[in-house]
Amino acid sequence: MLDDSIGWGAMGEVFRMHDHQGTALAFKVLHPDLASDADVVGRFVKERGILEALKSPNLVGVVDLVVEGATLAIVMELVDGPDLRSYLSQRGTLAPSEVCRIGSAVATGLAAVHAAGIVHRDIKPENVLMKDSDSHALPKLTDFGISSLVDTERARSTMLVGTPQYIAPEVSEGHDVTASSDLYALGIMLYELACGVTPFAGGSVMAVLRRHSDVLPGRPDSLPDELWDLISWLLNKQPGQRPPTARQVATILDALGPSLTNFPPGQVLTEPPAPVTGLQSGVTMAVPFTQLPAT
C-alpha cells in the first residue's frame, strides 16, 4: 500500500509504502516518459535479477521491480535519514577525516555496482542517503538501478542522466560513460564536501561543461596534501589516468582518514578557487599513489 510522497526528481517520484508484512519500503515510480519507451521497459525486465542481487552495506537495496500497465517502479529499502546534500547543507563543510569516511563508503557501494557491470552515471550528494545510526550516519548509494535503464543516446538527447557539475569531460564531449566517469564524479563530490562548492561552478551549463574539459580545479586551502592528491587523481581529464577501480579508492580513503583527524572543517566557499588554466590537449597530471594497496 502506498503512503505519502517523500521525494521526486528527474527520474520519478518516491512514495513510502508498506508490504503485506507491514515492512516500510520506498516505492519509486519512474517518469511516464521512461515507462512509455519499449526499450527501457525491456531493459527493466532484463536487469531485474541483477539489481535485486546487488548487496552492499553502502547500497540502498533493491527489493523488486514492478511493471504494471503504464507504470514502472522500483521497490527499495527505505532509508531513515537525509540525503548527503541536506547533510552537507546543515554542516557547511566536513572535516577531511569525515570526507574520507563518507567517500570510502560511497566508493565501496560504487565498487559493488561496477562489479555487476553497471555504471551509475549520476554520482552526486542527492544520490547518497545518510542512514541514521547510533554513531555515524551510514552513507548508502542509491539510484544505481535507474541509470542502467537509460541508453547512452537517450541520456545525451534528454539530459535525464547526469548533472553538469559532476559530469566527466569525456561524457560532455560525447564519449561513452564508463566506470571511470563515475570516479570523476566521486572526486567532484569529495571536493564539494570539503569546501561547500564544486570546482567548476559558476555561469551557464555550457560554461561549466567547458571548464570540466579545459581547466584544472583550484585547490581549497582546507584540503590536506594527501586528500588533495587523491582528488586531483580522480579529476584527471583522461579517464585512463584516474584510479583503476572504486575499490582501490575506498582502500586509500580508509587509510587516509585516521591520519587526518586533527584537521578541522574548512571554510564554506561561495565560489571555487580560481581554476588552473593553460591545460594543453593530451597533457595529463602526475599520478600519485603509484603503490596501490592489493585488492
- Which residue intervals of the chain are DSSP H helices? 32-35, 38-46, 48-53, 84-91, 96-115, 144-147, 152-158, 169-172, 179-195, 205-214, 225-234, 246-256
Measure the CA–CA gap between 185 and 260, rounded to whole angstroms: 23
Polymer length in residues for the chain: 295
Catalytic residue among 3, 39, 64, 122: 122
**What's the CA gap between 212 and 176, in Å, rounded?**
16
Is the dihedral angle over the CA atoms 147, 153, 159, 163 positive or is it negative?
A: positive
Q: Please name the residue that has the C-alpha cell 569525456.
A: 170
Q: Under 8 Å CB-to-CB from 21, ≥6 apart: which residues?
A: none
Looking at residue 166, the DSSP 8-state letter turns out to be G
- 83 is a catalytic site residue: no
Active-site residues, by number, are 122
